[in-house]
Amino acid sequence: MSKEFVQLYFSNVDAGKTEMLIALLSNIGFTGFEETGHGLKAFISQENFNQDDLNVITNAVDIAYERSFIKEQNWNATWESSFDPIIIGDFAAIRAAFHQPVQNVKHEIIITPKMSFGTGHHATTYMMIEQMCGMDIKKKSVVDFGTGTAVLAILAEKMGALSVDAIDNDDWSIENARENIGANSCHKINISKADALLTGKTYDIILANINLNVIVDNLSLIVKAAHKDTEILLSGFLKQDEADLIQVLSVFNLSHINTLQRGEWISLKFKMD
């Protein structure tokens, strides 16, 4: 039996409100978003949908929506019709299997996005890839916390990572990640279903492109998974959250290296002292 998803459609929302909605809805489990010419569609599996949580957001933002139900195969067809390749300079390209190969890039990644978050279209994923562009990942141990489509984990292996742990708490994402890892002929990525980082392991590089609440809730585990000189890339939150997040992180032995911004979204890079 195919899985059902709840689709919300918010009409006539400007770019600022769209980004705010994506951030807030991500915090309550929405994992798929589609920006249309006139509004925003948001998707969540029916089993994870909570009307009370949604009411808190829509009342706070003061916005109306239309709700409908869709089958997973309908969602996949929608993605395939609207998913164009993403090219980040000459560093990386993300495309679907049905696209022609992209020339003149160092790393080409094939992604079948389905319902998972992380095709490179969204600003947070794009910035995480931009951050990785300037890093030396060869022979490094990497964890991708909230892996989604596994796009960042796949890129890490293509950049020469020694090993990559890809972690997500969603069955659909785990299934999608496995498919994408296979499509890219990756062999150094270990997938785990979990709500938090694995205990007892440390990494040279920690990637976490999720949302503000999950990152804040897992900060102590993120720090425990770091050793001296570990690089930590974080994204999934808005510019307005930067000061609060840096303040929270200031209690740990971390140096703030940089902040990237794309639209209202930001990515932060830290290094363990």
Token digits of residue 186: 């990756």
Residue entry with tokens 């994204």: 235
Looking at the predicted structure, is the pLDDT value of residue 213 above 50? yes
71 neighbors 21 (Cβ within 8 angstroms) = no
Q: Please tell me the predicted confidence (pLDDT) of residue 242.
A: 92
Mean pLDDT, residues 60-73: 85
Question: Where does the pLDDT of residue 72 fall: very low under 50, low under 70, confident under 90, or very high at 90 and above?
Answer: low
Q: Please tell me the predicted confidence (pLDDT) of residue 113.
A: 62
Looking at the predicted structure, is the pLDDT value of residue 73 above 80? no
Strand order in the sheet with 39-45: 32-35, 39-45, 4-11, 66-71
Q: Please tell me the predicted confidence (pLDDT) of residue 90.
A: 96
Between the CA atoms of 198, 199, 200 and 205, what dihedral angle is there, to the nearest 10 degrees?
Answer: 50
Task: Specify which of 8-12, 138-142, 241-245 reaches the highest per-range mean pLDDT.
Answer: 138-142
- Per-residue pLDDT of 29-39, as tens digits, reads 887 787 776 78
How far from 12 is each of 54, 63, 69, 238, CA to CA, in Å? 19, 10, 21, 21
b/e sequence 96-121, b meaning 16+ C-beta within 10 Å? beeeeebeebebbbbbbbbbbbbbbb
Q: Please tell me the predicted confidence (pLDDT) of residue 79.
A: 58
Looking at the predicted structure, is the pLDDT value of residue 8 above 90? yes
d(CA 112, CA 119): 8
Q: Please tell me the predicted confidence (pLDDT) of residue 74.
A: 54
- Per-residue pLDDT of 215-267, as tens digits, reads 989 999 999 999 999 999 999 888 999 998 888 888 898 999 999 999 889 99
- Please return the burial class of 208, using the count of CB atoms within 10 Å of its CB with bins 0-12, 13-18 and 19+: buried
- Per-residue pLDDT of 144-200, as tens digits, reads 999 988 999 999 999 999 999 999 988 878 988 999 999 999 999 999 999 888 878
- 95/139: higher pLDDT: 139
Q: Please tell me the predicted confidence (pLDDT) of residue 78.
A: 60
d(CA 84, CA 87): 10
Q: Please tell me the predicted confidence (pLDDT) of residue 116.
A: 47
170 neighbors 198 (Cβ within 8 angstroms) = no
Domains in the chain and their CATH numbers?
4-79 (3.30.70.600), 116-272 (3.40.50.150)
111 neighbors 151 (Cβ within 8 angstroms) = yes
pTM higher than 0.85: no
Q: Please tell me the predicted confidence (pLDDT) of residue 83.
A: 67
Q: Which runs of consecutive H residues, i.e. helices, occur in the chain?
A: 15-26, 51-61, 72-82, 123-133, 151-158, 171-183, 212-217, 219-224, 242-249
- Per-residue pLDDT of 86-132, as tens digits, reads 899 999 999 888 889 999 999 999 987 665 455 556 788 999 999 99
